[in-house]
Amino acid sequence: MSLKRVKKAFTLLELIIVIILISLSYYLVFSNSNFKINDEKNSVSLTSIKKYLIENFEFENEISLVCINENLVCYIKIDENINEEIKIENLFENKPDIYKYQKEEQIIDYESIDIDNISQDVIFELKVNSDYKTNELIVDTLNDKVYLFNSIFDEAKTYSSLQEVFETFNTNQIEVQDAF
């Protein structure tokens, strides 16, 4: 009896299939692209509130992010109806100071709202109308960050102090006056 030696080797087709399987496995195991897209879509920060509201909710006239004093929780208000099921937490570490974006320093006092049939003190409300314009606010987080919400910007501008915001406002006002 003689033993035949059989030479085994990969054919080109088998090699291509192995490469495709390895590539597909690598993509499925190590790719987080789908997870990143979902995380970005669902994450909200003070700078991206306007974008978050417009991209994630449908509304006809106005959408708002309303934050209350109790636990600093925020709710979505769509066309004057508060959605009590959607809660955004940890947007603020402590109660912020909210000012009108104008020449003088003027704090905004909000009216109370009812959530779960209990009157709640509102500490912040950013409104976006059907033309995607926001109310113009200055939010002082009291943590070395001040945010400017303006209809011109898609995202809030960040400043280091309240004084810097008002200085920028005055500088811009002078530039506009000098242009005419």
Phi and psi at residue 132, in whole multiples of 5°? 65, 30
The residue ranges of every structural domain in the chain are 42-179
- pLDDT number for residue 173: 76
| Burial label, 99 (beta-carbon count in 10 A; 0-12, 13-18, 19+) | buried
- pLDDT number for residue 153: 86
Residue 159 contacts residue 168 (beta carbons within 8 Å): yes
- pLDDT number for residue 39: 40
pTM, whole model, 2 decimals?
A: 0.70
pLDDT tens for the chain, 180 residues: list them: 555 665 666 688 888 998 999 988 888 877 655 544 434 445 688 899 999 999 999 999 999 999 999 899 999 999 999 988 889 998 999 999 999 988 888 999 999 998 888 999 999 999 999 999 999 999 999 888 999 998 888 899 999 998 998 888 888 777 777 766
- pLDDT number for residue 106: 92
